[in-house]
A and B are shown apart, each in its own frame.
Chain A
Amino acid sequence: MSQHLPSAALEEKKRSTPFSTPAREEAKPLLARRAAAGLGARLGLVGIYVFLVVMAIFALFPLYYVVQASFAGAQNLYTTDLHLFPAHFTFANYVTAFTQEPLLNWIGNTLLVCGLTALCGLVCSTSGAYALARFRFAGRELTLRALLTLQAFPGLLALTAYYLLLNALNLLNNLLGLVLIYSAGAVVFCCWNTKTYLDGLPIELEQAALLDGATPFQAFWHIVLPLATPALAVAALFTFMTGWNEFALANLVLNANANGSNLTFILGLYSLQSDFRTPWGIFAASSVIVSIPLMLIFFFAQRYFRSGLAQGGLAN
């Protein structure tokens, strides 16, 4: 394999003239060769389109199925025959989902948890990252290493300890308990990403500001934060997204009340689906309602994600 290095290939291309190579191909008449190649290429292209269509069906089918099911009446779903289009188009599932299930509460709770997680994680990770990037102190290297080691420990492993901890803090069955656990889980990644980003920013501006009499906090707030916006966006999104799908810890911390209005959406949807009295159409409608804002956030977030990560230099 080592003989076929790309650089070697380039070298060879430089040495050989375009006229020296067709010599090998003289065995077949040129026209026949062209025709065969064209047919092969066309067959290849057909194969590629077949593959694309199969993959598109694979990618879209679950999403399509849930959307069409959300518009179908209940009798349409609980048959053993296949229905790929709703026979009776109806919004009844959406109406039921909004009026009889605490859907808005679930969305509200999830946004609250994720929003507070992002805020809390951002404050802790950014200030910490700034200290690690700009200040010299004993134990700096040790802190960086400790962060990396802690990150290898998945929070789920300490389920019992979390339960006792939240119990001691009186945060069981409280959304704030979840906020605490989620933001601690995201803080290491964010701190590292932001620190690497800050390492790439010039320090001279802050030095000048300090000479002019600014406090370190003013330098941090007025100079560093505006420059670090892409990295902060990544950190905020990352922390926001750690919690929105999480099931195990949420299930540990939150106990459903009588109508389940204190849950996050994933717990709520799970309870809807495992409860056999709830028609699947209502679950489908609820899923669609919950997914739309999340998918919008994702598409909006995506471009920030790329630039902030690339410049944050996670690859190093």
Chain B
Amino acid sequence: MPDYARPQTLTEALRLLAGGEARLLAGGTDLYPGAGARLAGPVIDLATVAGLAGVQSGPGLRIGAATTWTMLAEASLPPALRALQQAAKQVGGRQVQNTGTIGGNICNASPAADGVPPLLALGAKVELASTSGTRRLALMDFLRGPRRTALGQGEVLTAILIPDSGLQGRSAFVKLGARSHLVISIVMVAARLVVRAGRVTEAAVAVGSCAPVAVRLPAVEAALRDAPVSEVADRIRAEDVTAALAPIDDVRATAAYRREAAVELVRRAVAEAVA
């Protein structure tokens, strides 16, 4: 494989990738930091691969892996994706949002990836393609740990798939950091709630930056079911939140603080989702 390739089709990209070890370049916002004057090869640039960017509906929703944050933020999407759109506006600055992609964010597998909690709350799957075919995996299973994913050799993450069930209800995203822009979160929460006749029928809540990978909160979700909308925040028990978390002490905050803050942010996120 050449040192640098700009395939026009997915088939071509996969063929190149099958030919040897190469780095996949999407937005470049995670690969370039730390590189020298240029990115060391071999590199397969996905920028011109047809069909990788954009959002398509029915059934469910298909978000192309190369869809940028700006495209997501400015797209007309159902209220269930509001959390994702809120997150899109808080990834880096406008410059990063204009080039950074949702697929790159997932594959970079940072515990603080802004796109992940909203996608977990949507029950997202990822679509992985290789020369031997395509497979689908729950996002939850795709993310294996900090900087680790289930992406196999020769595979490209091509799309994020939201099932119809994930498109129900409304969502909200809250991100906590020590400054207002350009901040890696201390804790972030995405919550999606489906409400019928004033009661929660379904809840999906995910927390980021508090474990090796972002996590869903099953106990919280169970506690929210059947809750009247006016009481969603009151249904959040601290132990239901913290049971799912494994935060660490780092330069941004202590683990103990993260637990506390996560509880508070979950309350705020669910309240905002039904507001």
A and B physically associate: no
